[in-house]
Structure 1
Amino acid sequence: MSPQTQQIGPLSDPVISVIVDWAIETAVGFLFYGVNIVISFTVIYLLTTTSTRMTRGQLGLLFLTIFMLLVSTSFVSLNTAFMFVQIPLLAINPPDIISSVARIGIVVIYIQRLNFVACDGIAVWRAWILYPRNLVAKIVLILCMIGSLAFSEPSVSVSTLIA
């Protein structure tokens, strides 16, 4: 063994339980992602095959569905990568990859917020369509969207990633 390679020590029992929890969280995340794929492809299929000429609303919904599918795909893959990159840090002799973990974690936080805001945006858009002339409903929807932008809480804080 060359002196340049770094030995990573074995994992302890509490660390193994953390990894099992990560595996369960990842499995549930991929389960919901699979449901999201089925629903998204169904919506895309129905929007593209129901009529020969798409309205602006149908075209907007098609692009929003594709956008949300791409955001969900990037969130699931980056969240999985974030978990895999953290595993060596739990070893007895961890490597120095803190900056990589922090960068991936920050991107996961922003992708998660983007997905959250996009989902809320679609819900607000549908309610806006239902009440086109109701000023009170529009004000409430705008306030809800501002609240979604301002108060979305990430599952991992940036300060814990950097520390």
Structure 2
Amino acid sequence: MPRPSTGTPSPAWTDPDCPVARALDLVGDRWSLLVVRDAMDGARSFTEFQRRTGIARNILTDRLRRLTAHGILAQQSAPSGRRLQYVLTDVGRDLFPVLLTLRQWGERHAFEPGERHSTLVDQHGARVPDVRPTGADGAPLDADTTHVRKTGGPSHR
């Protein structure tokens, strides 16, 4: 079933048949993912996003516009009613496992042993366990145990 139109033209897809490429076309630049990260961490206003990321105003304006146009963020009235704020949509919250996996990869590979870095903890203060994909049988999955299968498109029923 086709997805509902957001009223925003679809981007020119880098690789129209690949879900990874399409996802990267939508959120694959560093600023978009950092804005989503900060929204997950409670940022709501333009000023908060700019302060947390250090992003230039024109780039932040563009990223907020794109993330909103593609249904990752939504604008709503702030509690004061005087300004608009940005909130994650369900589509945006669906990026949590992506950011978690990217964070955990960074913890393992982007820091020297013993180098300080932030750590994600659960509501009880315990470190979030490493994400490890498993198959239907519970066996670990990796690049050697999976492959891509093309699915039907408009010409397949």
For normalisation by structure 1, the TM-score amounts to 0.25
Pick the structure with greater CA Rg: 1
- The higher relative CO (CA closer than 8 Å, separation ≥ 6) is in 1
Which structure dedicates a bigger proportion of its chain to helix? 1
